[in-house]
Amino acid sequence: MRIPYGYTFSEETGQIVVSQQHANTVKAIYDFYLRGKSLGGIADALKTQNIPSPTGNPLWTRAAIDKILSNGRYVPSIITEAQFWQAQIERERRTNTDDNGRKAARYNSRNVLSGLLVCGDCGSSYRRITRSSGEIVWRCANKVENGKKAECSNMMTMSDHEIKKLVCGQLNTDIFDENALRSMVDTIIVSKSEVTLHLKNSQSFRL
């Protein structure tokens, strides 16, 4: 198993432990990113501070920085859960904007589900997150933003594919139709143990 940057193998204990020096760099990368720096800007800042990349190169690549920003294995040893999910939200936001910071013209179906998926515990909307693997998942925005401090105990994370498959199954269709979803579905409540589809005709179904 490859050891992520920020950790090291301890011969004394025979375990993988935090490398404090590199962990501080990981924290700095998250801090820079969440304060608005671009991947290139972070690379420049690390070069200015004479911090070598994971391969020992004096120049960091954008890909190396993005890999660190998308690696959930830094939680909770190096960064908090809230910091990690805030970074994923920001990565998703930047993915859907052009070089001038404007929203991309392409249509994204997240606009449909983001208005329908609701946490059954705290009532917050569910938020779309893109994992480092490219998988799209949905998670309670309250938990994403506030982590353990959130007044919500719902840890349910749903994959985009799973949600769409469940909805299609209930609506008896093989195609996920955004327009049909808007016209028929009122809310989709995601709780710890079940997902409930509420239609606009007052019918409800457990998915």
Do residues 67 and 139 both lie within one domain?
A: no
Q: Tell me, what's the pLDDT at 105?
A: 36
Which one, of 164, 176, 163, 8, lies nearest residue 78 by Cα? 8
Could you say which residues of the chain have pLDDT below 50? 98-99, 101-110
Do residues 152 and 122 both lie within one domain?
A: yes
Do residues 86 and 1 both lie within one domain?
A: yes
Whichever domain contains 21, its CATH number is 3.90.1750.20
Do residues 79 and 3 both lie within one domain?
A: yes
Which one, of 93, 31, 29, 89, lies nearest residue 62 by Cα? 29
Taking a C-beta distance cutoff of 8 angstroms, is the pair 30, 87 a contact? yes
Q: Tell me, what's the pLDDT at 44?
A: 95
Q: Tell me, what's the pLDDT at 98?
A: 45
Show the domain range for 13. 1-90
Domain final residue pick, 35, 58, 90:
90
Q: Establish if 99 belongs to a structural domain.
A: no
Q: Tell me, what's the pLDDT at 107?
A: 32
Q: Tell me, what's the pLDDT at 97?
A: 52
Q: Establish if 158 belongs to a structural domain.
A: yes
Domain final residue pick, 90, 115, 143:
90
Residue count of the chain: 207
Do residues 114 and 207 both lie within one domain?
A: yes
Do residues 76 and 112 both lie within one domain?
A: no
Do residues 195 and 129 both lie within one domain?
A: yes
Q: Distance of CA 17 to CAs 13, 21, 124, 128, 161, Å?
A: 9, 12, 36, 32, 35
Do residues 150 and 190 both lie within one domain?
A: yes
Do residues 1 and 80 both lie within one domain?
A: yes
The Cβ of residue 164 has, within 10 Å, a number of other Cβ atoms equal to: 18
Do residues 35 and 121 both lie within one domain?
A: no
Q: Which residues contact 130 (CB under 8 A, 6 or more apart)?
A: 88, 91, 92, 95, 136
Q: Tell me, what's the pLDDT at 66?
A: 92
Q: Say how far apart CA 168 and CA 163 lie, in whole Å.
A: 9
Domain count within the chain: 2
Alpha-carbon dihedral sign for residues 95, 100, 101, 106: negative
Do residues 111 and 206 both lie within one domain?
A: yes
Q: Say how far apart CA 161 and CA 36 lie, in whole Å.
A: 30
Q: Which two tokens stand for residue 185?
A: 């579905």
